[in-house]
Amino acid sequence: MLQKMLIKGGVPLRGAIPISGAKNLALPSIAAALLTDQKLTLNNIPNLVDVNSAIELLNYLGVEINWASRHSLILSTNTLKTTEAPYDFVRKMRASILVLGPLTARFKKASVSLPGGCAIGARGVDLHIKALQQLGAEVELENGYIKTSAPAGLFGCDISFPFSTMTGTENTLMAAALAKGTTKLINAAMEPEVVELANLLNKMGAKIEGQGTPVITIEGVDSLHGATFDMMPDRIEAGTYAIAAAATNGEVILKNCRRDHLSSFFETMSLAGVTHEETEEGVLVKRKSDIMPVDVQTMQYPGFPTDLQAQFTTLMTICKGAASITENIFENRFMHAPELVRMGANIAIHGKTAVITGVNALKGAQVMATDLRASVSLIIAGLVAEGETAVNRLYHLDRGYENLEEKLTNCGANIKRVSVD
Ligand code: EPZ
């Protein structure tokens, strides 16, 4: 059943928003259950479509998974039914590629469908494949599947990534954890989710050092044991609501937000005239002036996150001046721009750069979500716009935002989800 969100704009958000567990840590953590035959308990798991997709895939593989409570998962991988991750699962969620490393490392073979394209860009997985080959796996691409085999197991080595890849680093980390010998990942991704995945693996008995720096060293072990681990709060969700608070000229406390995961982002927000302050309850975000124009380049961590680019674009549509936003990570991540223009924004795209000239007000309209972060940038625009906005294709939104309308309604927003007849 298709649904849309109806939003009546103009209400400043006031209140507190609890930040859920990090989607992009939950996905690799669930895949890590494949690395051990013992129980893995994961807490603060967000209830999201993408998390359910990951659970469905692991269930299909033969992993036993139960919800111990609303946000706690218990997973056990004694024996598997199959080491094949079919196209139907992988096309729904490209992060399914994260089972490739663990299956190859523990079960010595895997057959994972190539993810295929994605709205925001080609999103290749060539670096994942090359890293596994360097660790000693035979890899064949056959009928749209990545087939790996490592009958003698994997062997540690130095792996240099030509550029930083988040899930590429995560896949390789998990594979190297069970390899014979030591692996060094050079030019490794440094995102907090990668650091936390390494910390989870260490809790399971892995020997990993250097996470959060460009060089991660993994001393392989024979096996990993069970563990209990809490997901960190979702830094992209927190940044999203910080932008919504600023855009609506409200005052919002982000509960259990890790400010240190968002330092580059909050620095940019300060330049835009938005303050953030650590309080007992969480990080208090509010405007100190009009929204000022700030030029942004999206970069790998610790730079400005590409996953907050669409949301920040919305903020700049009402700035006092003109700002440029350059998307350096993905080739096609401005699909929200034409939709914002339909709401009265003034945005011109030149290659990788969007030039946004601030307008006095956005006007409500029917708009179309195209991908996860674009969908929430349109919700924020609706919260700001005069009149009513309808955001269609909400399935994009539900992949990554838990209880969004409840969290916004609790801060005074006039927002409701309706079925599209
Ligand atoms: C992760 O995607 C996140 N997803 C993305 O979040 C995030 O935008 C991205 O990292 C930021 O880098 C998860 O963690 C599940 P990459 P990932 O490998 O790992 C190219 C969201 O909204 N590349 O870091 O797929 C790739 O095409 C999502 O929550 C190759 O060419 O991203 C991209 O242009 C969206 N070959 C760039 O590198 C490879 O083998 C960065 O990709 C790997 C990557």
Q: Do 98 and 28 meet the contact criterion of CB atoms below 8 Å apart?
A: yes
Residues 280 and 181 in one domain: no
The angle at the Cα of 154, spanning 149 to 155, to the nearest 5 degrees, equals 145
At position 88, the amino acid (one-letter code) is D
Question: Is-above-0.85 flag for pTM?
Answer: yes
Q: Can you give the CATH number for the domain in which 31 is found?
A: 3.65.10.10
Mutation to probe ligand 1, out of 96, 126, 167, 261 (largest number of atoms < 8 A from CB): 167
Residues 216 and 294 in one domain: no
Q: Tens-digit pLDDT profile for the chain (421 aa)? A: 789 999 999 999 999 999 999 999 999 999 999 999 999 999 999 999 999 999 999 999 999 999 999 999 999 998 899 999 999 999 889 999 999 999 999 999 999 999 877 778 878 899 999 999 999 999 999 999 999 999 999 999 999 999 999 999 999 999 999 999 999 999 999 999 999 999 999 999 999 999 999 999 999 999 999 999 999 999 999 999 999 999 999 999 999 999 999 999 999 999 999 999 999 999 999 999 999 999 999 999 999 999 999 999 999 999 999 999 999 999 999 999 999 999 999 999 999 999 999 999 999 999 999 999 999 999 999 999 999 999 999 999 999 999 999 999 999 999 999 998 7
Residues 222 and 363 in one domain: no
Range of the domain at 180: 23-230
Residues 195 and 270 in one domain: no
CA-closest residue to ligand 1 atom 10: 166
CA-closest residue to ligand 1 atom 28: 307
Residue 236 zone, left/alpha/beta (φ > 0; ψ -120 to 50; rest): alpha
CA–CA separation, 197 and 208 (whole Å): 10
Indicate the length of the chain as a whole number. 421
Residues 189 and 250 in one domain: no
Q: Choose one of 174, 209, 230: the last residue of a domain.
A: 230
- Residue 73 buriedness (CB in 10 A; 0-12 / 13-18 / 19+): buried
Residues 323 and 262 in one domain: yes
Q: Residues with catalytic annotation?
A: 118
Q: Say how many CA atoms lie within 13 Å of 219 toward its Cβ.
A: 4
- Report the number of distinct structural domains present in the chain: 2
Atom of ligand 1 nearest to the CA of 126: 40
- Other CB atoms within a 10 A radius of the CB of residue 112 amount to 27
Q: Choose one of 213, 230, 247: the last residue of a domain.
A: 230
Residues 399 and 306 in one domain: yes
Nearest Cα neighbor of 290 from 265, 263, 323 is 323
CA-closest residue to ligand 1 atom 9: 166
Residues 220 and 332 in one domain: no
Residues 151 and 40 in one domain: yes
Q: Choose one of 195, 211, 230: the last residue of a domain.
A: 230
Residues 237 and 201 in one domain: no
Atom of ligand 1 nearest to the CA of 120: 35
> Phi, psi (5° rounding) for residue 152?
-95, 10
Bridge partners (DSSP) listed for residue 347: 356
Residues 87 and 176 in one domain: yes
Longest dimension (CA), the chain: 65
CA-closest residue to ligand 1 atom 30: 124
Residues 89 and 164 in one domain: yes
Mutation to probe ligand 1, out of 165, 170, 333 (largest number of atoms < 8 A from CB): 165
CA of 250 to the centre of ligand 1 (A): 32
